[in-house]
Each structure stands twice: as C-alpha cells, then as structure tokens.
Amino acid sequence: MGQQQEPPGHGLFRVETGAKRIRAFLGGDVVADTTRPLLVWEVPYYPTYYFPADDVHARLTATGATEQAQERGTAEVLDVATAHGTAPGAGRRFPTSPIEELRAAVRLEWGAMDEWMEEDEPVYTHAHNPYSRIDIRASSRHVRVELEGVTLADSRTPKVLFETGLPPRFYLPLPHVRMELLRPSRRQSHCAYKGTAAYWSVDVYDRSYDDIAWIYRTPLPECQKIAGLVCFYNERVDILVDAEVQARPHTQFT
C-alpha cells in the first residue's frame, strides 16, 4: 500500500472504538448491529470486531465452558441463536476481563456467521484494518522474474500493488509469464481486501517450488486492476526492476 504508517504499538494487543456500522447475520437474521464496534487486535495484522452487549439481538446462552484468552482474561463460551439459525459455541463474553471495555462486549466467531457487513457492503475473511490500504498503479518499469537463473516472467507493463506492511507486489499480464513452467496448485487463499487467489507451483531443474505464484481471477471491487494478472512471491524468487535486483524481503510469507 502507499505506505500509511501504523499507529504506535502496531503488532501489540490493543483495543479501540471503530467508526463504521458493523452487522453480523445468521440464518437471514441480524445477530448484532452497532455503530460503536470495538476493534480488538488479537493478532498483529487486523482487528476482531466486538459488539456492545446492548447491540446484540440474538439469543446468547452460556454453554458452561470457558477459555483463557491471554490479555483478555477468561471467556464464557456462548451459543448464538436467532429465529432462523443457530451457531453453537460461536460467542464469547469476558465479564471479568482486566480490560474494562471488553466486560460489556460480545465477540462473534467470524466463520460462524453467514454474512458480515461494514456499512452496507459485505466483507469477507476478517475485519478490515483501518490503518491499512491498498494502492494499485500502472507502471512502465521493466520487471523480470527469475528463479535459479531461469526467467519466469518478463514485462514492461506491470501493475504494482502497494499494501501497508508488505513489499510492493508486481502483477504481470499472463502473456508475459512463461506459463509452460507453471503447474496449477490446489491451494487457494482468501484476502479480506483482494478476494480469492488461486496458486501455481514451479518446477525448475527437477526441483519443485510450491505455491510460488498466484492470480485473482475475480478480485473484490477495490482491486479490479489486478484481475487476471500473475504475481510471484518477492520473498521466494529473484525480481529485477529496470535491471536492478531487488532484495528478497523478510515477511510472514518468507
């Protein structure tokens, strides 16, 4: 992304109040609807939405089970039910949390809900990070991708995707990629910002490099510019930009 900085404490557990209207649905019914969600960073990369208890409209029933949740304290596990749907064990409540804001809040398991909406648009995979953004720019820079000295792709019309906290990604037209070297993979991944990606592996000199390139064939609306383009992990191949070798970055994908 066009590098917007994270706030102090990025990567550490924290809680803040969000500004978007957030809704969760189950069985066609509204489970929760709030304009004052809590954004809880349980992992470094994106928050989890917690709902004020007053904004939860589903029936919550304690299962009797509890969980220890590090900084958040002890969670009561809840069954979640609406008129037309049930989600066993899909809720969490922290009535004795050392973090005061969480004591009157409810956490819903993302995958247990049928639909999530930020304002009036659906969101997928996980909550969006308000400190992250993606910029995609057309470029005339000469990008060549190599592995073990073998050229995998060569393009002068890349799209460059800048995403907060990650290295620039070079998305290349299919005709500029040596597709005969790529082998379809069964792997798929899901990005909250870009959509669902399919992967390829590469065989070079009788060695297999698994899931080294990907494509978003039908990306989410904000990322339509990369539809049908191929991208390689900067961390696992050699990328030359205008004949200059780029350092392989160290990220969670290394």
Q: What are phi and psi of 57, to 5 degrees?
A: -105, -10
Give the model's pLDDT for residue 252. 84
Give the model's pLDDT for residue 5. 38
Decide whether 15-123 matches 134-245 in CATH topology: yes
Give the model's pLDDT for residue 254. 79
Indicate the pLDDT class of residue 44, thresholds 50, 70 and 90. Answer: confident
**Cβ-count burial 66-84 (b if 16+ within 10 Å, e if not):** eeeeeebbebbbbbbbbee
Residue 161's closest CA among 209, 193, 189?
193
Confirm or reject CATH 1.10.760.10 for domain 134-245, answering yes or no: no
Give the model's pLDDT for residue 9. 44
Domain ranges of the chain: 15-123, 134-245
CATH architecture of 15-123: Beta Complex (2.170)
Give the model's pLDDT for residue 229. 98
Indicate the pLDDT class of residue 6, thresholds 50, 70 and 90. Answer: very low
Give the model's pLDDT for residue 71. 92
Q: Is the pLDDT of residue 4 over 50?
A: no
pLDDT in tens, 18-36: 999 999 999 999 999 999 9
Percent of the residues in the chain that have a pLDDT greater than 90, as a whole number: 91
Query: pTM for the whole thing?
Result: 0.84
Give the model's pLDDT for residue 64. 97
pLDDT in tens, 114-123: 999 999 999 9
List C-alpha distances in Å: 21 to 17, 122, 221: 11, 12, 20
pLDDT in tens, 117-174: 999 999 999 999 999 999 999 999 999 999 999 999 999 999 999 999 899 999 999 9
